Amino acid sequence: MKKVLITGAAGFLGSHLSDRFIKEGFHVIGMDNYITGDSKNIKHLMDNPNFEFIEHDVTEFIKIEGELDYILHFASPASPIDYLKIPIQTLKVGSLGTHNLLGLAKAKKARILIASTSEVYGDPLMHPQTEDYYGNVNTIGPRGVYDEAKRFQESITMAYHRFHGIETRIVRIFNTYGPRMRLNDGRVIPAFMGQALRGEDLTVFGDGSQTRSFCYVDDQVEGIYNLLFSEYSYPVNIGNPHEITIKDFAEEIIKLTGTNQKIIYKELPTDDPLQRQPDITLAKNLLNWTPKVERAEGMEKTFSYFKQLSAEELNKSEH
């Protein structure tokens, strides 16, 4: 049985990836320090003999007994309000954490895939974004802690590939959503759905003309899975190119949830990218992958998840 280490396993994407690798017949070692994750996301795996869990901060030395075939490094805060709250940990997990995992990959002769992000493009001057665009990031702005950590992560990964010859993969993930997102993590989908369920107005930041392109989690996991088993070492965009303004998106969510609330406008956060849409030509050609789930279907499934949360969870405010 092939062994895969998944960091950030108690998070949104890490837990879905753990499910997928278990389903494909792998032995999964999940690792997380729960800083933005939740044990509830992997509760259903805890009794599975093919799943083991190590509570550990990946910025500290990582020790794994025996052989290891693959590593998926997904540990990192991923929501703007999370990485504004824990900026140093964000920088450390992308830099020191990635260094530890690359060292582990080298020692075990394992193939490693790292989770990068569309944020490496910053507030993009090229639209849609292709992998050869170098980006437009404000190094010293509040979002810089995440963007630069991820840019460093890509650089050190390529250095380990070139200098040590280890097998590396880099996925640039564009906004992905689905069940198990943390209701209060501040990202736009849980924020709007939580507001609709609590009977609050939906908070659109800025004038809502900024765009995003939302990918359903099952499509994202499929893309990542295909990339891991491809032979390509350079970054690959995985996301859904169906772009929408945040204002139109808020209106879609008002319709979907049937809420009587309205949209209210709040200040646009510093360096909030004005537009974002992946060019997925490379992923299509290389991985024979395209997203399959339409936003209406994905949002329906995500809303069903949020709806079944308890009133206590719904009203828990972390920020």
Residues interacting with ligand UDP, by CB under 6 A?
A: 79-80, 175, 186-188, 191, 203-205, 210, 212, 246, 269, 272
Minimum distance of ligand UDP from residue 91's CB (angstroms): 17
- Among ligand NAD, ligand UDP, none, what does residue 212 contact (CB within 5–8 Å per kind)? ligand UDP
Cα separation, 202 vs 27, whole angstroms: 42
Number of residues near ligand NAD (by CB under 6 A): 28
Minimum distance of ligand UDP from residue 203's CB (angstroms): 4
DSSP H helices in the chain: 12-23, 80-85, 87-92, 98-108, 144-164, 188-198, 217-228, 246-257, 281-287, 295-307, 311-315
Tokens of 164: 């040590």
* Cβ nearer to ligand UDP, comparing 95 with 210: 210
Contact criterion met (CB below 8 Å) for 80 and 271: no
Minimum distance of ligand UDP from residue 119's CB (angstroms): 7
- Among ligand UDP, ligand NAD, none, what does residue 194 contact (CB within 5–8 Å per kind)? none
Q: Is 37 in the site for ligand NAD (CB under 6 A)?
A: yes
DSSP string, 66-114: S---EEEE--S--SHHHHHHSHHHHHHIIIIIHHHHHHHHHHHT-EEEE
- Among ligand UDP, ligand NAD, none, what does residue 203 contact (CB within 5–8 Å per kind)? ligand UDP
Half-sphere exposure of 209 (CA within 13 A, CB side): 1
Residues 66-85 that bind ligand NAD (CB under 6 A): 74-78
* Cβ nearer to ligand NAD, comparing 141 with 179: 179
* Cβ nearer to ligand UDP, comparing 103 with 206: 206
- Known catalytic residues are 146
Could you count the other beta carbons within 10 Å of the beta carbon of residue 175? 19
Location of structure tokens 């992905």: 176
Contact criterion met (CB below 8 Å) for 35 and 77: yes
Which residues of this protein are in contact with ligand NAD, per CB under 6 A? 7-8, 10-14, 32-37, 57-59, 74-78, 93, 97, 115, 117, 173, 175-176
